Structures are given as C-alpha cells and as structure tokens.
C-alpha cells in the first residue's frame, strides 16, 4: 500500500475518521438507551450525558455517553466499544498521532 506523504491530507483523514467514530458510537448509545428505557419495568428517565475519552489509533475521541436518572443502565456499547476499543491496527505507524 502507498504511504501518504502529505501530513495535511493525513491529518484531515484522521480527523474525518475520528468524527465518524464519534458520531457512530454516540448514535448507537442513544438508540440503545432509548430501547432499554422503553423496555424497563422500573421507571427511570434520561439524564443527559457524561464525557468519556476513547483512545484510538486515530487519536483521542471525546464522547458524550448518555445516562439515565437512576443509574440503572449500563450500555453494552460502553463495555464493548468504550472500555476496550479494538479498532483493527493500521497498516503502518503513520496513522498514530
């Protein structure tokens, strides 16, 4: 595979990938929260978000993780994606920040 020799292009690509991961994970977590709240027998409501940082091969990603008022929910997304984010390793170290 050809290496990218233009740092500006590489930085723009890394930024785009970080934004994509952030957008995707936050939307998945919101959907999971909504579905879980709809199926709970105990009443609880949404209670905003809390910040979480995800270190990826493309740099640090600041996420807003949704939460419920009573703290009953633990999103499976948090466990699988946020706690142990295992993005496939890049082909070279040029992706690392």
| 1 belongs to a structural domain | no
**Residue 47 phi, psi dihedral angles, 5° rounding:** -140, 50
At 4 the pLDDT is 59
| 95 belongs to a structural domain | no
| 42 belongs to a structural domain | yes
What is the tally of structural domains in the chain? 1
Q: Judge contact between 93 and 70, C-beta under 8 A.
A: no
| 67 belongs to a structural domain | yes
| 26 belongs to a structural domain | yes
What pTM did the predictor assign?
0.69
- Domain residues for 53? 7-87
Q: Is the pLDDT of residue 10 over 50?
A: yes
Give Cα 69 to chain centroid, integer Å: 21
Burial group, residue 75, by CB count within 10 angstroms (0-12, 13-18, 19+)? buried
d(CA 80, CA 10): 28
Q: Is the pLDDT of residue 84 over 50?
A: no
| 97 belongs to a structural domain | no
At 15 the pLDDT is 93
| 21 belongs to a structural domain | yes
Q: Judge contact between 48 and 67, C-beta under 8 A.
A: yes
pLDDT digits (tens, 9 = 90+) for 23-74: 999 999 888 888 888 887 778 888 888 888 888 888 889 999 888 887 777 6
């Amino acid at each position: 595979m050809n290496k990218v020799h233009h740092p500006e292009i590489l930085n723009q690509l890394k930024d785009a990938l970080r934004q994509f991961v952030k957008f995707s994970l936050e939307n998945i977590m919101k959907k999971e929260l909504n579905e879980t709240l709809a199926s709970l027998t105990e009443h609880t409501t949404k209670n905003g978000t809390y910040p979480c940082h995800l270190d990826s091969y493309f740099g640090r990603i600041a996420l807003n993780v949704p939460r419920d008022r009573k703290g009953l929910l633990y999103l499976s997304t948090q466990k699988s994606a946020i706690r142990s984010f295992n993005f496939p390793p890049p082909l070279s170290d040029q992706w690392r920040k």
